[in-house]
Chain A
Amino acid sequence: MKIKFFDANAYIGTQMLGVYKSAATAAELLEKMDEVEIEKALVYHMAQFDYSPEEGNKMLVETMAGNKRLFGCWTLLPPQTEEVIADNFFTQMKKNRIFALNLFPVHHRFLLNGVVFGEFFKELIKRKIPLVLSMREGGATWEMLYSLLKEFPNLTCILTDLSIWGVDRYTFPLLEKYEKVYLESGVLSLHEGSFEMTVKKFGAKRLVFGTGFPEKYQEASMLHLLHSNISKTDKQKIAAGNMEKLLSEVKL
């Protein structure tokens, strides 16, 4: 059985400090995906993080140019400032192939809670739109995440860029309590045995494949998944099936 890959964590563009051989455009990213045989990807533009969510979201749409292998992920700011969330937001998402949303509350300086996002997050739950939470520096903190899920237990959250130091002590309680929390496999696959134990304890449905490209090697998480000690069916679910299912349920 040939495993099909859907990368849930890749970005276009480069950081302002530079990243080795990043993909400046969607076309370059697709070329790199072809090289390693990754079929689809959920992508954002690094300008959404480093420069401006407002402008970066537009840059993402422009470079994706409707390509059917790429699924866009816009970056949120508080609705009250109307920088990102404005009238017809969901219609615009649909028009531009945006299937998920991310946010970086520390770097972009806002709080991640119901006061800021109450009604909006209720809408995300209703529409089953995944919220991608990067645990990288500038993203969400574990304290933020625990508080958020206490307020919105039915929010679909994909946690990405998990720490180089193993995070099972943080993630296992969340996976146990909130059934719509998913982990991206890229950095998780770094730690010997953690990936397999997560599957064994919580099921393959709670993981989505990701690479962390361009900062990480795509080949690393791919080789790990291909030869991990789980069933072939589970491998296919993680490699692409779970992500495809999540995105197919999005109502825009």
Chain B
Amino acid sequence: MRNMSQLAKDIFKYGRVKDCPVYDMHGHMGSHYGIHFPTKSAEKTVKSMQAANVQKLIFSHHGSLMMRDGNSLSLKEARKFPGLLKVYCTINPNFPEVTEKDLAAFDEARHVYVGIKLLAAYHKKPITDDGYKKAWEFANKRKLFALVHTWGDNNMNGPEQIDEVARKYPDCKIFMGHSCHGEWDKAVLLANKYKNVYLELTAVPDERGPMEKFIEKAGSKKILFGTDMPWFSYHNYIGAVLGAVRKEEDLRNIFYLNAKKLLGEIGQL
């Protein structure tokens, strides 16, 4: 492997490197209406994590995203491996009574919950909608994470909507899931404009080029590793990052240093 750092060569050789853990900031679990997933359970997920030295996965269960009142599914799976698995509380604005209940019960699961997850393009209400307001205020007040599914050319969760919530909720750490896929330049602008906005890599490595742009224009300290697990496999995505990122320092920032810092800030390391 020419032009690769020693760390990258070691990952290629061994598949996992002890002093370079991986923190996956964007995952899921369970079965799905449109895709067969052989890796559905927490047990199987953890086995896959161990093979690639993934030491933390923050996820939202497919059941929490695709049906009413499903956050208990995430909590149930995460509690099987509390050191390894953490949860985003899914906020579906179509069911405000569920959001109210989940936020009220948030502290009961505080050792597992790290923030909120928004999937506006599927739930058909923009992230700026009043239906999310309570959740945003809750996350902002407590300085929690907000993993937002973002996509380019989209008025539910595109760059313009991120711009608005980032300004409105400066204490909330906003992770742009998929980094406004396709509108890469705008994602970079947002990451540079706001201290609390981060580029998240899920679905980004599917094409060559954007990751190189992120490194060059935003810097590796604003990039978080994520896989949509089990949508995308660890070694495939780690390999893609190794193909795009040459410097060892940048690899370490992306794979774990940035995530550890953020988790430390909310007392969840």
Chain A residues at the B interface, C-beta cutoff of 8 Å:
19-21, 34-37, 164-166, 168-169, 189-197, 214-224, 226-229
B13's nearest neighbour on chain A, judged by CB, is A226
- Contacts A192-B234, A220-B243, A223-B242 hold; do A19 and B208 have CB atoms under 8 A apart? yes
Looking at the assembled complex, report how far the CB atom of B238 sits from the nearest CB atom of chain A, in whole angstroms. 6
Query: Closest approach, in angstroms, between the C-beta of B9 and any C-beta of chain A?
Result: 11
Q: List 28 A-B contacts (CB under 8 A).
A: A20-B209, A21-B208, A35-B1, A35-B2, A37-B1, A164-B203, A166-B37, A189-B233, A189-B236, A191-B230, A191-B232, A192-B48, A193-B39, A193-B44, A193-B230, A194-B36, A197-B38, A217-B208, A217-B240, A217-B244, A219-B240, A220-B243, A221-B239, A223-B12, A224-B236, A226-B12, A227-B235, A229-B51
Question: B234 contacts which chain A residues (CB < 8 A)?
Answer: 192
Nearest residue, chain B, Cβ from A227: B15
In the complex, what distance in Å separates the CA atom of A128 from the CA atom of B62? 44
Instruction: Determine the distance from Cα of A53 to Cα of B256 in the docked complex, in whole angstroms.
Output: 46
B-side contacts of A223, CB under 8 Å: 11-12, 15, 235-236, 238-239, 242
Given contacts A20-B209, A229-B51, contact A219 B243 (CB under 8 A): yes
Interface centre among B15, B48, B229, B239 (most CB of A within 10 A): B239
B207 within 8 A of A: yes
Interface contact A215-B208, CB-CB below 8 Å: yes
Interface: B175 (CB within 8 A): no
Closest beta carbon of chain B to A162's beta carbon, Å: 12
Q: Number of contacting residues on B, CB 8 A?
A: 39
Check if B104 is an interface residue, CB within 8 A of chain A: no
Which of B1, B2, B230, B243: most chain A Cβ within 10 A? B243
Interchain CA distance A36-B36 in the complex, whole Å: 31
Whether B171 sits at the interface, judged by CB under 8 Å, is no
Bound form: Cα–Cα A71–B11 in Å = 30
- Known pairs A216-B207, A223-B239 / 17 extra A-B pairs, C-beta < 8 Å: A20-B212, A36-B1, A166-B36, A166-B37, A192-B37, A192-B48, A192-B227, A192-B231, A193-B38, A214-B208, A217-B240, A218-B243, A220-B205, A221-B236, A222-B239, A223-B236, A223-B238
